[in-house]
Structure formats: structure tokens, C-alpha cells
Amino acid sequence: MSRPIVVDNVVALRAQIRAWRQDGLRIAMVPTMGALHDGHISLVRIALEKADRCLVSIFVNPTQFAPTEDLDKYPRQLARDLERLAEAGAHLAFTPDVAGMYPTGFATKISVGGPSSGLESDFRPSFFDGVATVVAKLFLQALPDYAIFGEKDYQQLCVVRQLCRDLDLPVQIIGAPTVRDAHGLAMSSRNAYLGEAELEVARKLNAILRRTATALAAGADEAGATDEAGRALVEAGFQRVDYIAARENLTLAPWRSGRDGRLLAAAWLGKTRLIDNVEIPSA
Amino acid sequence: MSRPIVVDNVVALRAQIRAWRQDGLRIAMVPTMGALHDGHISLVRIALEKADRCLVSIFVNPTQFAPTEDLDKYPRQLARDLERLAEAGAHLAFTPDVAGMYPTGFATKISVGGPSSGLESDFRPSFFDGVATVVAKLFLQALPDYAIFGEKDYQQLCVVRQLCRDLDLPVQIIGAPTVRDAHGLAMSSRNAYLGEAELEVARKLNAILRRTATALAAGADEAGATDEAGRALVEAGFQRVDYIAARENLTLAPWRSGRDGRLLAAAWLGKTRLIDNVEIPSA
């Protein structure tokens, strides 16, 4: 088990990447905000299958948090993250700081339309601008061949694909299945906020989504099925449901019955906001 | 005199660039909207001094024109442009079409703050979003080592520098001095719109700017000097002055007397809008 190289600036990052390129090695990147869990480690594994070198960025990106959100309390645990990356066999951890990523005078924003509209954007209006801008920047710093994103943040995955297609970013995006605990709960750094009783409730989210997706695939009325799912979440113990919505698989346009789709949801448990999504298989 | 390779799609462009890279060649790009004049050719010359291969893109970018502007009548003369590029020794002309650059579903916009505020933006509010987005896209299609931009479009040059710095675009931007006719008129594709009498008037723009910059450098009051310059332009025959403003050299923040600065102006001659700018030397 060898520890990853740790670099915190673009010059050092590019020097290492240039050296790898000169050796003809293929590079895969896993952008993260740290607080690594089994979901992230599954992305590293996919990166290592696709490429010769795996680079993991760890950066809690302030521009994707609203002032009311959990930027300050978002879990930071670099030493433990580096241990997990060493176990997983990642080759490099890129750990820039905020001043390095957004120096004084920074003034550029990337807005991706299409799949960014609705869902998360209805509740976090600047979120995807922050994501698109930092992802483009990380990609341009490293210029990897591949980048791996979890399907857990399904809308984000669609937005990143659109970003790369629209700007001709020369990075191939790979979506990876959500990793779940034995009860179906999607791995998330924010699960660390949950107490035992809340965890019990959280574990019901995925089952309710799966049941609803099965009903939709079998022809159930969309509005009725999602309303029922919303009520089921509240009965299960969620305080508030931001959305439950069926969407087309890639564009996230409104879903049409009989097509491949995705059922996406966000709901609140105390002060913690959880998201999840499941496939709606085509008829 | 060998003719440039002409490619109209990203796959072919990247194949040629990959071949050059494999030969260890350095690549400089000159992004243009065609209708090439001596100003563009001077950029090609600088590209050939800096790098082994010069790539010129020719694309009249619709997203930087407002609906009221001259997109439809903007001069298009590809055969003549290719002849000029052959004479100048450019190696490749990249001539994408609108559907190739902005396929159905295209939905991404890059906004650069800082130097984009005011001046042109006061009169062409979406102009720099269009410029930043297409320039980023062209850079990502080609990934050149250098890109050459004329100082004629001085605010654009500052915006492109800011774009590259903010997004870590791995392209070095080189600004090139404005090429002028014997009477000081800056070369511009839009000069083609001017009749003989209008050309006579247009030629006075640069002299008035130079005179005003000299006065500012010598300590003249800024508001008084620029007001006087505006009156002089109207007396010379310009119908309307959009702006005459002194700005800091790089940030385009308000200029402070005694510092390096730039005096920038835009004015109308009939239906043609001309821009120009000159240095304000520091005291």
C-alpha cells in the first residue's frame, strides 16, 4: 500500500501529469469534496480500471453552497481521506485551497442550462453554476482522459456531461452506480450529520423511490404516484419533501411514460437534506 | 506558398493537432471572424514567430451579436481569406459552421466579470458572454500553446486574459499592437461598410484619442478631457459617441492619474460602429 502523492497547487499538479503523459499513461480523475466514503472509493476503483493513474481532487467548493447552507460544518478530514485513498490505490490527491482556486479578482462563472433546470435548481439556485465552474476549472488544471462521477448526484452528472459536450472539454465522463448500505441508504458525506433514529428514517427513502419507479414503469399515473411517494416519505419521518419527480434519463426533460427515466427526490430530515434517485425502466 | 489545410470539424482538427504534437511542434492559434485584413495577418505573423504551427479559426459567432446588430451583413469571404492565409504562411484554417459549434440542445454560457463591465458591455450587454463562451470552446477544441488577439479589441483582450486565468485554461494569451492605415485608422472588418466620405471622418478617431491620452498623461482633468474629445468626434463628423473612457491597463478599473492606462472609445458613423483605443503612458 503506497500513499498517494499530495499536491496543493496547479504547477505541481501539471508537472506530475506531464511526467505521466510522457510515459504514455492514461489518467482518470475523481473530483470530490473529501469526507470520503465507500461511494467515493467505488469511483476510485472505476478510475483504476479505466486508466493507469487515478487523481482524486479534494476541495470543498464554497461557490456551490448558498449562504444558508452547510459550508462551515461540511465534514473535513484530510488525514483520514488520504488513508482511504492509499488503501484504494489512488496515485495523487490534489488538495487546493480556496485562495488558490479563487484568487483575488476571480470573476468567471459557467452556467449550464438544459439538465440543470428544476429539481435541485429550484431549491439551490446557484448550485450548478458553482459546480460547473469548479468542475471546468479542475478539468482544465488536470486535463484527465476520464472523470468519474457518482449517479447519486444524478442531476450533477447530467449537468457535467452537458458542460463537457457544450464546451468540447476533452474529458470523457463516466457515471458510476450509487453505493448503498445494506438497507439501501445511498452513501453520502452528509449521512454523518444523522443520528441513529434519523438513519432509520433515511433508510426508507430508497425503498419508497424504488416502489414508486416500479409503479411508474407499470403505467401508474405520474402525479398520483409521486404525490403518494411524498406522503409516504412524510409518514416515514421526513419533515419536508423538496421534490419527487420523474425525468427523462439524459436530458432531465419531463418524463414520458414508457421511456427510460429517472425518479429523483430530495427530502429533509432535521437539518439534513438528503437526495437519491432510481432508474425508471422503460416498458 | 503552400495553402493551409482547411478543416471544418473538431475531429479532423484534433487529428491534425495530435499529429503536430507527436512531432513536438508548438501551436499558436489566431481566432477570427474572417474578412481578414492586415491586422489579422499581423497576428498570424506573431503566431509564426512564437510557434511552429499557426492555426486560424474563421467563425462568425452568432452569440456575440445582438438581434439588432450586423450578423447577417457581416462580411464573409472565405476563398479570399484562405488566399491571404496562404500568403501569410498559416498552416491550418478551422472553419466550423454554426450547427457544429452550437448543436441542438447547446445550453452553456460563460460570463466573465471584472474587465467586461462597462464600456462595450453598456452598449452590447451579451457581447462578452458570447465572446468568452466561443473563445473557451475554440481553445478546448484545439488546445493551442498560444493564442494571439489584437489590441484593437482591447476590452476583449482583457476579458480573454481574465477568462484564461480564472478557468486555468492552459493557453498563453498574446496581445498584438493594432495595425493602422497611413492615416491612423485601425484595421477592422467593419471598415468595409464605410464610404469614402465616412473613411475620411473615421481616420480622425485615432488622432483625437492620441491627443486626449497625451493631455491625460500630462495631468489634464479626466472628465474635461474626455468630454472635449467627445465634442471633437462629433465635430469631425461622427453621429454619436457611445463612450470615451480612461481605464487601468489590465483590470479596466477606473484609471487613476499618473498610472499606466488605456483610453477607449466607441462611436457611430452612419450605421457603422467603430472602436479604437490608445495607451495613456504613466507619468
In tens, the pLDDT along A140-158 reads 999 999 999 999 999 999 9
CATH architecture label of A189-277 = 2-Layer Sandwich (3.30)
Task: Show residues of chain A in contact with B170, CB under 8 Å.
Answer: 14, 140, 143
> Residue A10 is nearest to which of B105, B163, B168, comparing CB atoms?
B168
Report the distance separating Cα A135 and Cα B130, nearest Å.
21
| DSSP result, B105-157 | T--EEEEE-GGGSSTHHHHSTTHHHHHHHHHHHHHHHH--SEEEEEGGGHHHH
Amino acid at residue number B217: A
Exposure pattern of B153-189 as b/e (b: 16+ CB <10 Å)? bbbbbbbbbbbbbbbbbebebbbbebbbeeebbbbbb
Q: B282 and chain A: CB distance < 8 Å anywhere?
A: no
pLDDT tens-digit series, residues A201-232: 999 999 999 999 999 999 999 999 999 999 99
Asked if residue A46 has pLDDT above 90, the reply is: yes
- Give me the mean pLDDT over the A148-173 stretch: 98
Cα distance between residue A229 and residue A204, in whole Å: 11
- Which of A40, A91, A204, A247 is catalytic? The answer is A40
pLDDT in tens, A86-131: 999 999 999 999 999 999 999 999 999 999 999 999 999 999 999 9
A4 touches A93 (CB < 8 A): yes
Contact A229, A265 (CB under 8 A): yes
- Name which of B230, B228, B221, B210 is nearest B255 in CA terms: B221
Cα–Cα dist A150/B34, whole Å: 43
Query: Could you tell me if residue B229 is left (phi over 0), alpha (psi between -120 and 50 degrees) or otherwise beta?
Result: alpha
Grouped pLDDT means (10 residues each) for chain B, 283 residues = 93 98 97 97 98 98 94 94 98 98 98 97 97 98 98 98 98 98 95 94 97 97 97 98 97 94 97 96 81
- Whether A283 shows a pLDDT value over 90: the answer reads no
**pLDDT number for residue B2:** 85
Percentage of chain A lying above the pLDDT 70 cut: 99
Does A1 score more than 80 pLDDT? no
B161 touches A: beta carbon within 8 Å:
no
Residue ranges of chain B assigned to CATH 3.40.50.620: 5-176
Give the count of alpha carbons within 13 A of B113, CB side only: 7
Distance (Å) from the alpha carbon of A112 to chain B's nearest alpha carbon: 4
Instruction: Kindly determine whether residue B111 and residue A106, on different chains, have CB atoms separated by under 8 Å.
Output: no
- Smallest Cβ–Cβ distance between B113 and the set A107, A167, A169 belongs to A107
Quickly state the pLDDT bin for A2 (edges 50, 70, 90). Answer: confident
Identify the pLDDT of residue B41. Answer: 98
* CATH 3.30.1300.10 domain range(s) in chain B: 189-280
Report the alpha-carbon distance of residue B82 to residue B88 in Å, rounded.
Answer: 10
ipTM: 0.96
Chain A residues close to B106, C-beta within 8 Å: 166
Number of residues written out for chain A: 283
Interchain CB contacts (distance < 8 Å): A and B = 76
Cα A77 versus chain centre, distance: 18
Residues of chain A with CATH 3.30.1300.10: 189-277
Best to test chain A binding among B140, B143, B155, B161 (most A CBs inside 10 Å): B140
Least confident residue range of A74-78, A169-173, A243-247, B144-148: A74-78
Confidence check: pLDDT of A242 > 90: yes
Contact B111 A113 (CB under 8 A): no
Can you tell me the mean pLDDT for A66-82? 94
B23 assigned binding-site residue: no
In degrees and rounded to multiples of 5, residue A133 shows phi and psi of: -65, -45
Residue partners of A110: CB distance under 8 A and separation at least 6: A129, A132, A133, A136, A163, A167, B108, B109, B110, B111, B167
Q: Which of B121, B124, B105 is nearest to B113 (CA)?
A: B121
- The greatest distance separating any two alpha carbons of chain A, rounded to the nearest whole angstrom, comes to 58
A136/A147 Cα distance (integer angstroms): 11
CB burial readout A112-139, b (16+ within 10 A) else e: bebbbbbbbbeebeebbbbbbbbbbbbb
CATH topology of domain B189-280: Pantoate--beta-alanine Ligase; Chain: A,domain 2 (3.30.1300)
List CB contacts (< 8 A) between A128 and chain B.
none
Report which residue type is found at A149. F
* A61 three-class SS: coil
Angle at A128 between CA A125 and CA A131, to 5 degrees: 140
Looking at 3.40.190.10, 3.40.50.620, 2.40.30.110, 3.90.230.10, the CATH number of the domain B5-176 comes to 3.40.50.620
Chain B residues lying within 8 Å of A107, measured CB to CB: 112-114, 116, 162, 166
Q: What percent of chain A has pLDDT over 90?
A: 98
Q: Are B267 and B186 in contact (CB under 8 A)?
A: no
B179 is in an annotated binding site: yes
The residue whose grid cell reads 491627443 is B211
- Does residue A129 have a known ligand-binding role? no
CB–CB of A111/B109 below 8 Å? yes
Say which residue the cell 488605456 belongs to: B262
Q: Was B153 annotated as part of a binding site?
A: yes
